[in-house]
Structure 1
Amino acid sequence: MKLAFGHIRRQEGFSLVEIALAVLLVTVLLTAVLALYGRGVNAWNYGEKRAEVNDSLRIGMDRLGRELREATALSPATTASELRFYGRDGMQIRYFIYNSADGNQLNREKVDEAGTNKPVASNLTGLSLTYSPYGPGPDITKSDLVTVTLTGRDKDEKLDPVAMTTTVRLRAYN
């Protein structure tokens, strides 16, 4: 470019190759940063779902264990997947897993009162019970030691099932 006095002014700026190289480097850097961010978000979601399932297991186990510890006797209708016992007030209480559209729940029901089915914890898929010294059958009412295993899983079923087990001795056993 010529100026009015005839001197050529030097043009400064970036060439097309330099701009293309800069764009390429920024793209590679942003791709790496976004990949790390995506992994972080996935790890966070995994941990959050795992904590939610563990909390549900703990809540269900605490409630069930506390009431079972205070039970006066097991009901003959108790099975390996449904717990029935008599509370201190003489009412028969039933714990079972209910499968609904909202997910699986551990429910508590007062058998003697219709319509008192209440959810205790969600995200629970299994309730397994073992009775000692007698197994299911007519002698189950003589058992005073119950091993309870609750199994939980997230609603999306992306996590492996998690199990929590406790053994409870009936304190008020007759």
Structure 2
Amino acid sequence: MGHFKNERGFTLVELMLSTLLLSILSLALWDIFSQCSMFWKRAGDKVDLYDGLRISLGRMCREIRYAGSISTSSDVGSFTFVNADGNTVRYYCNLNELLRREKGVSSPVASDIVSVSFVYTTKAGLVIDQSNIAGQKLLPNWTDSVELLTISLAAKKEDVGPFVLTQKVRLRALP
């Protein structure tokens, strides 16, 4: 038992101090990891939101480009038209989803949508938007002279956005 007398070990104070320093270092590393994880999630949400908007807007524009006719029930918040197959299709926003309604069945096109707006431009250059659509809708065939449609989609997630994408569509198949 005599050989333990000369060996030097750690005192209780040294052990407590090293444990405290290790704990502070661990908490700092945990905070950095947590911040990086939140940044990664937010960046992923931004990409998902933007890609969803881009894909949805592209799909809408391809279909609308070849619309046979525009319904007079269209307005700034929804767009109703007859597609190439002769079916009536309506795009509108409801409960943060962009919906496409065809043959009485609504199917989601995009989620996390805050608003959708349609602005119509006639062959004469008249822009029909929120400010003057009420007067235009009094005319029986107000959609006959529309040749350009501007679609704006706005989307927002919890900590991301809002993003707004706008695209103009020239209606090719209209008479």
Please report how far the alpha carbon of residue 8 of structure 1 lies from its aligned counterpart in structure 2 after TM superposition.
8.2
Q: SS of the counterpart of 1:14?
A: coil
TM-score (norm: length of structure 2) = 0.84
Unaligned runs of 5+ in 1: none
Give the gaps of 5 or more residues in structure 2.
none
Task: Tell me if 1:126 matches 2:115.
Answer: yes
Matched ranges for 1:32-111 at <5 A: 32-99=28-95, 104-110=96-102
2:147 alignment partner in structure 1: 144
Distance 1:98 1:10, change over 3 A: same
**Percent identity of paired positions between Structure 1 and Structure 2:** 29
Contact 2:77–2:118 under 8 Å retained in 1: yes
Secondary structure, counterpart of 1:94 in structure 2: strand
Amino acid aligned to 2:9: G
Structure 1: distance between partners of 2:80 and 2:170: 15
Q: How many residues align?
A: 161
Q: Rg larger in 1 or in 2?
A: 1
Query: Does the 8 Å contact 2:147/2:170 carry over to 1?
Result: yes
Extract structure 1 runs of 4+ deviating beyond 6 A. Answer: none
Provide the secondary structure at the position in 2 that maps to 1:56: helix
For residues 4 and 100 of structure 2, the distance between their equivalents in structure 1, rounded to whole angstroms, comes to 91
Aligned 8 A contact 1:70 1:171 in 2: yes
SS at match of 1:117: strand
User: What secondary structure is seen at the aligned counterpart in 2 of 1:89?
Assistant: coil
